[in-house]
């Protein structure tokens, strides 16, 4: 971890060095004869430099106009570029009022260039002398993301640290989550009643982490189901989820020692369309009357339809989602609800595997960091704004800089 | 073999994408990966379509209960597919916008899919009413708080809120229901949303890390 | 009368109304072509039929609902497949893969050096389809692994930047807004919505709320003592959030119903 | 007259349900459903309407569009489906009217397949008839739908042509004058997403507005509006929440440009039924709780 940090720091300093080297602005003055008509204005200054934090092939040209744009007959700025080696000159673009910089993305990293800027007034060209020679280059690290990297490394480092320490056998305390304890109870009840259980992993594809979390919980539920020999029914709305869910349930049956009892039809693809799916799930609920419904994943408007229909057939319902807008309905219409982060934690809880549990503790470190930083930030901001404290303002700005997304 | 290779693919792709964020010349990898996902997702559509056809033809051929509805599904699927893939009736032919007005695809969308979709959604209005009558009860402190907040917002979003409380003087104007609703949105609601968002982001980070490290692999058929 | 006979009578009535509406609607069409008028008359009647069929589920599960549901499932699966084909395969793959195909579909061909890479997803896509073949179905895990890897990789940095970092920095708020000393504060204290006191109160609520909300999500510490109190305040804040969400949602749902009823009364019955 | 009939019917019904609930009798779900349907239908038939005034969060979007210099580039993304349309389509139409009235350049796109279909309805019913002078490719254009959710944004914020080699009609972007100075969405002056699901306004903020540092506004279905408040006013300059937000925007538009007065303003009209339904739902919550407390008291006594 520390080694990584060092590498990162090295990369950062290297980048900044490269940046400084390439930052050699050229200043220019108007040639006397053409500038005579507007000689009461100072000359326009133009500088060109390699665009920062990019993948090369780009030079930024920046200029400051002392007021030519306000002149009558102003038609814009014409930017020209000269390739130093070949001597080829290109007229790049005419830019209207208001522009003070232009990113030239048609350069090659292998050549050097100079730029000139012409102010177009009533057909007359007031051309600046050319800038210093400039060459574009690619950077290996995006400087703006230094703090993102560091914070990321701290949080991920904490997660990995606790995973490792859990692997070594350190005992970890975790508070209980009510919804999880209800899962076994719900499956048990379905078995007693001889009715199926229904599992919905939300309506998003595998590119949503909530769906993946839902499926990992499915893994544990399916194991219980296989042991009790209950029927599980899972309509899905994308075929990738179908593939993953089948793998999950099949594995659970194999682990429970009953591979023959598994059947691909436990997971059915319905349709990708949200309400086409809801219509079908509603139908299944009313016709098959599952004893327990699990709604775990990413849900949208359909949450209430499913939860209400489930409620009306008297099923035990355990729901969980990280979609805040749907939580009130789950809270109201379901027996147990996993709120937000609890959904992601649930899969780790249910596995009971120390490594998984360790990762939860790691995430708690992230929360602790957030709380401490917010506390310090709020205090600094408060004192800085109410009593104009310079040092607190410095702290506030530092924190804001650290926690900016680049 | 069956498990190592997928794990390798997963970790390699994931790590590459994490790294690419920080390296300017690799930043387009993220874009490429999402483009690739889309193309794979189209194959997934085909897989889904294949499954749909399989399940429903089986139902029809076995004449199992409700097979007639499977015929309806297959018909709907076939008609939509044919009109869409061949752009039947599209004024601009094969090059036209798929949903060009006048094309049969757009007609089916407008007169069949759209009413079905909106009506399903409209059912929610009824379910909301039923839920407010039976489920939203002040069973304990938490439920009561939820109810009171919902109450204020509901009143505040209508003219009724203004009528009821605009007699309250400017000195106490936050107690006017529309203002109170806005205050709830801007203060406690914002705090709650923020706490949920921070919590979720940490949940996602630790979940993603578990996936990349290969600790969580249920969806690949476990670690046996 | 058995329920079967009742059902038959009902179906006959529905069919009659359908026919009646079709005729009336065709007659009131605005187009010059009879075919278009008759077609639109049918379509609008059919749309009404489907709307009412879905609504009938509120009363009871019934054949009309089942019909609408099955049709919906089929139509929407077809809809998404067409869109996947035209927008992704033709829109994104073809222009990068082949010049002649691009010309066939009238999409501009894109000259690029790394064209070969576009076949990566095609390979994974084909691997995914092995799912349909029982013997080598396990191969589809490779595609799944690719997708989950992408998801995990992209989300890790995204959520870190957008939700974690930006929400933390958004929380740096002053607890004393426009502070000009305690005396000034007490002199101007009021419950005016735009007053200083309410601004200060809001920021306190946000600060305390975020902190307590985070405490609620702490998993590795028992919620007892001070921690327990904070966690309790946290859940209250979450409940207010849920209540607010509920209030807003109700509004949205009603709009949708209004939309449907306007359709029935306006576009169909013409009584608005 | 309509108001009186409505009040009598609704009030009577509520009293009856209250009576049943207090008696401890179970009110069937279907009666509740019927009641909601009747309320909304009555309000629609009698065209009950209430006035609207723009709140700051809506006003700031209006002012932004109002104050941009003519010819500014604005993206309007249709990220919704027919189900959300009654709520958010009025916003889209109000935006089209306002943007073209101010002579800005309007770029349509969509992250939802269904959005593109609804977009072509909007083009035919609002843009073409009301702004016959607007030229395709100069004043407005339709980029169409692209699958890939936020992935699309991830790409177009740095390179528009990579995702959209052509517009929805197959024209190469370079053949359209309004794309001459557009390399990516970073070159836009304002991004507006209208949506309610995922991808929606939130994804636009996270993957386009924020990374591209472009001003961003949103219109969203009521359900997802509370989630977006944390982004206002920094990451989102303003936000239209649900029918109410749309109605406020329409009211502001009519106030500033009275020529739109006779155009259909569906959101304003929807607020009547909305208000009535809110009242009914509030009443349901109250009645439900009265019944609950009575039954609990009885339970304690026996």
Cβ <8 Å between B31 and D158 = yes
- Contact at CB, B195 and C86, closer than 8 angstroms: no
Residue A372 has pLDDT above 90, yes or no: yes
Contacts of C22 (CB under 8 A, 6+ apart): C41, C42, C45
Per-residue burial over D145-174, b = 16 or more CB atoms within 10 Å of its CB, e = otherwise: bbbbbbbbbbbbbbebbbbbbbbbbbbebe
Cβ <8 Å between D279 and B99 = no
Closest CA to D141 of D102, D99, D112: D99
Q: Name the nearest CA neighbour of C121 among B13, B26, A273, B25.
A: B13
* Nearest residue of chain B to residue D119 (CA atoms): B99
CA distance D45 to chain B (A): 18
Mean pLDDT of the region B54-78: 91
Q: How far apart are CA D79 and CA C92, in angstroms?
A: 20
**pLDDT band at D44; cut points 50, 70, 90:** confident
**Would you kindly state where each structural domain of chain A is located, as residue ranges?**
2-127, 143-170+355-402, 178-352
* DSSP state at residue A133: P
How far is it, in rounded angstroms, from Cα D164 to Cα B172?
A: 54
Q: What is the ipTM of this complex?
A: 0.78
Residue boundaries of the structural domains of chain D = 2-48+267-301, 56-264
* pLDDT tens sequence across D61-110: 999 999 998 889 999 999 988 778 888 899 999 999 999 998 999 999 99
- Residues of A with CB below 8 A from C164's CB? 151, 155, 366, 370
Query: Residue A31's pLDDT is what?
Result: 39
pLDDT at C19: 93
pLDDT of residue C100: 86
CB contact under 8 A, D32 and B129: yes
Subunit contact B182:D55, Cβ cutoff 8 A? yes
The per-residue DSSP string of B199-215 comes to HHHHHHHHHHHHHHTTS
The string of pLDDT tens digits covering residues A212-227 is 999 989 998 999 999 9
What does the pLDDT average to over D109-131?
Answer: 87
Q: For the packed helices B4-22 and A146-167, what is the interaxial angle rounded to 10 degrees?
A: 150
For the beta sheet containing A74-83, the strands, ordered from the edge strand earlier in sequence to the opposite edge, are A89-95, A74-83, A113-121, A124-127
* Chain B contact present for A16, CB below 8 A: no
Nearest to D288 among B41, B136, B185 (CB): B136
pLDDT at D95: 94
> Residues of A with CB below 8 A from D183's CB?
105
Residues A10-16 have a mean pLDDT of: 48
Rounded to an integer, the average pLDDT of D216-237 is: 81
* Cβ–Cβ contact A268 with B under 8 A: yes
Residue corresponding to tokens 């489930």: A310
**Backbone φ and ψ of A322, nearest 5°:** -105, 20
Q: Which CATH architecture has domain A178-352?
A: 3-Layer(aba) Sandwich (3.40)
Provide the whole-model pTM.
Answer: 0.80
> Which of C61, C151, C173 faces A287 most closely, judged by CB atoms?
C61
When the candidates are 3.50.50.60, 3.40.50.10160, 3.40.50.720, 3.40.30.10, the CATH number that belongs to D56-264 is 3.40.50.10160
Asked if D172 contacts D180 with a C-beta cutoff of 8 angstroms, the reply is no
CATH 2.60.40.10 fits A2-127, yes or no: yes
pLDDT, mean of residues B133-155: 87
pLDDT higher than threshold 70 for residue A14: no
Which member of B38, B154, B189 has the closest CB to residue D281? Answer: B154
Inter-residue contact A370 to A402 (CB < 8 Å): no
Give residue-wise pLDDT tens across range A112-147: 898 888 888 876 777 777 788 888 888 888 888 889
């Amino acid at each position: 971890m520390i080694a990584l940090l060092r590498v990162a720091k090295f990369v950062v300093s290297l980048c900044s060095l490269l940046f400084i080297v390439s930052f050699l602005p050229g200043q220019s003055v108007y040639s006397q004869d053409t500038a005579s008509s507007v000689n009461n204005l100072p000359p326009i200054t133009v500088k060109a430099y390699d665009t920062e934090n990019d993948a090369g092939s780009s030079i930024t040209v920046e200029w400051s106009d002392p007021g030519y744009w306000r002149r009558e007959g102003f038609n814009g700025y014409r930017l020209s570029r000269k390739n130093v080696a070949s001597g080829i000159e290109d007229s790049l673009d005419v830019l209207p009022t208001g522009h003070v910089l232009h990113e030239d993305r048609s350069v090659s990293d292998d050549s050097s260039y100079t730029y000139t800027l012409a102010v177009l007034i009533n057909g007359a060209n007031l051309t600046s002398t050319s800038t210093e020679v400039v060459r574009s280059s690619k950077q290996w690290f995006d400087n703006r993301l230094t703090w993102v990297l560091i914070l990321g490394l701290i949080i991920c480092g904490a997660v990995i640290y606790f995973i490792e320490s859990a692997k070594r056998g350190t005992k970890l305390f975790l508070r209980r989550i009510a919804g999880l304890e209800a899962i076994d109870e719900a499956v048990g009840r379905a078995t007693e009643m001889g009715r199926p259980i229904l599992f919905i992993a939300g309506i998003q594809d595998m590119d949503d982490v909530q769906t993946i979390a839902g499926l990992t919980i499915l893994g544990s539920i399916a194991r219980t189901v296989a042991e009790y020999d209950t029927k599980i029914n899972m309509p899905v709305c994308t075929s990738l989820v179908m593939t993953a869910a089948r793998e999950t349930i099949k594995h659970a049956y194999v682990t429970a020692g009953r591979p023959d009892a598994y059947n691909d039809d436990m997971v059915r693809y319905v349709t990708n369309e949200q309400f086409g799916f809801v219509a079908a799930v509603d139908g299944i609920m009313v016709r098959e009357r599952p004893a327990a419904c699990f709604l775990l994943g990413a849900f949208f408007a359909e949450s209430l339809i499913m939860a209400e229909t489930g409620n009306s057939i008297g099923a035990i319902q355990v729901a969980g989602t990280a979609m805040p807008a749907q939580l009130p309905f789950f809270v109201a219409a379901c027996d147990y609800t996993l709120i937000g982060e609890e959904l992601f934690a649930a899969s780790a809880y249910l596995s009971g595997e120390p490594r998984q549990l360790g990762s939860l503790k790691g995430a708690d470190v992230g929360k602790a960091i957030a709380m401490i930083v917010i506390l310090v930030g709020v205090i600094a901001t408060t004192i800085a704004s109410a009593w104009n404290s310079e040092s607190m303002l410095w702290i506030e700005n530092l924190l804001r800089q650290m926690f900016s997304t680049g | 073999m069956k498990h190592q290779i997928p794990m390798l693919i997963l970790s390699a792709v994931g790590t590459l994408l994490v790294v690419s964020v920080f390296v300017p010349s690799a930043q387009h990898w993220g874009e490429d990966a999402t483009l690739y996902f889309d193309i794979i997702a189209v194959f997934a559509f085909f897989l889904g379509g294949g499954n749909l056809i399989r399940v429903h033809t089986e139902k029809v051929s076995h004449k199992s209960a409700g097979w007639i509805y499977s015929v309806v599904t297959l018909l709907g699927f076939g008609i939509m597919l044919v009109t869409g893939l061949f752009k039947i009736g599209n004024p601009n032919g094969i090059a036209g916008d798929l949903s060009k007005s006048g094309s049969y695809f757009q007609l089916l969308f407008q007169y069949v899919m759209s009413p079905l979709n909106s009506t399903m959604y409209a059912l929610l209005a009824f379910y909301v009413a039923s839920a407010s009558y039976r489920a939203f009860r002040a069973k304990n402190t938490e439920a009561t708080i939820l109810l009171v907040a919902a109450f204020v917002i509901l009143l505040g979003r209508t003219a009724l809120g203004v009528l009821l409380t605009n007699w309250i003087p400017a000195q106490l104007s936050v107690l006017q229901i529309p203002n109170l609703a806005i205050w709830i949105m801007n203060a406690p609601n914002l705090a709650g949303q923020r706490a949920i968002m921070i919590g979720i982001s940490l949940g996602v980070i630790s979940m993603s890390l578990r996936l990349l490290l290969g600790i969580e692999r249920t969806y690949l058929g476990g670690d046996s | 009368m058995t329920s079967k006979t009742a059902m038959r009578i009902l179906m006959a009535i529905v069919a009659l109304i359908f026919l009646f509406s079709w005729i009336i609607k065709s007659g009131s069409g605005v187009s010059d072509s009879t075919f278009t008028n008759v077609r639109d008359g049918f379509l609008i009647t059919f749309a009404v039929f489907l709307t009412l069929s879905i609504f009938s589920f509120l009363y009871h599960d019934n054949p009309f609902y089942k019909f609408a549901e099955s049709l919906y499932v089929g139509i929407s699966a077809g809809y998404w497949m067409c869109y996947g084909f035209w927008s992704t395969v033709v829109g994104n793959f073809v222009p990068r893969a082949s010049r002649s195909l691009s010309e066939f579909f009238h999409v501009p061909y894109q000259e690029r050096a790394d064209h070969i890479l576009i076949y990566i997803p095609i390979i994974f896509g084909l691997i995914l389809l092995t799912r349909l073949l029982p013997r080598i179905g396990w191969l589809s895990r490779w595609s799944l692994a690719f997708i989950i890897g992408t998801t995990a990789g992209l989300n890790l940095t995204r959520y870190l930047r957008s939700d974690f970092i930006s929400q933390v920095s958004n929380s740096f708020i002053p607890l004393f807004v426009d502070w000009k000393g305690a005396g000034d504060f007490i002199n101007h204290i009021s419950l005016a919505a735009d007053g200083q006191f309410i601004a200060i109160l809001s920021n306190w609520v946000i600060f305390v709320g975020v902190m307590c909300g985070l405490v609620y999500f702490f998993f590795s510490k028992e919620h007892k003592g001070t921690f327990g109190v904070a966690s309790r305040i946290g859940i209250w804040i979450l409940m207010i959030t849920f209540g607010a969400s509920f209030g807003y949602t109700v509004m949205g749902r009603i709009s949708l119903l209004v939309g449907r009823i306007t359709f029935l009364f306006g576009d169909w019955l013409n009584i608005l | 007259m309509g108001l009186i009939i409505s009040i009598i019917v609704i009030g009577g019904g509520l009293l009856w349900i209250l009576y049943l609930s207090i008696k401890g009798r179970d009110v069937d779900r279907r009666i509740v459903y019927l009641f909601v349907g009747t309320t909304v239908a009555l309000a629609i038939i009698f065209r009950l309407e209430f006035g609207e005034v723009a709140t700051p969060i809506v006003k700031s979007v209006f002012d932004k569009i109002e104050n941009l210099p003519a010819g500014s580039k604005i993206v309007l993304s249709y990220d919704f489906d027919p189900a959300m349309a009654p709520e958010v389509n009025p916003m889209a139409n109000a935006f089209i009217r306002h943007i073209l009235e101010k002579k800005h350049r309007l770029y349509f796109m969509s992250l939802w397949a269904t959005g593109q279909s609804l977009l072509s309805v909007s083009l035919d019913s609002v843009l073409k008839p009301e702004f016959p002078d607007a030229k395709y490719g100069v004043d407005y254009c339709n980029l169409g739908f692209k699958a890939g959710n936020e992935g699309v944004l991830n790409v177009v914020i740095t390179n528009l042509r990579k995702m959209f080699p052509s517009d929805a009609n197959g024209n190469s972007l370079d053949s359209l004058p309004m794309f001459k100075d557009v390399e990516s969405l970073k070159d836009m002056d304002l991004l507006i997403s209208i949506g309610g699901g995922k991808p929606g306004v939130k994804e636009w903020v996270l993957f386009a507005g924020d990374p591209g540092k472009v001003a961003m506004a949103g219109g969203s279905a009521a359900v997802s509006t509370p989630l977006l408040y944390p982004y206002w006013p920094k990451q989102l300059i303003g936000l239209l929440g649900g029918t109410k937000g749309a109605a406020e925007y329409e009211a502001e538009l009519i106030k500033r440009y009275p020529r739109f007065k006779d155009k259909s303003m569906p959101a304003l009209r929807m607020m009547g039924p909305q208000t009535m339904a809110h009242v009914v739902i509030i009443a349901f919550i109250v009645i439900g709780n009265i019944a609950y407390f009575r039954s609990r008291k009885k339970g304690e006594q026996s």
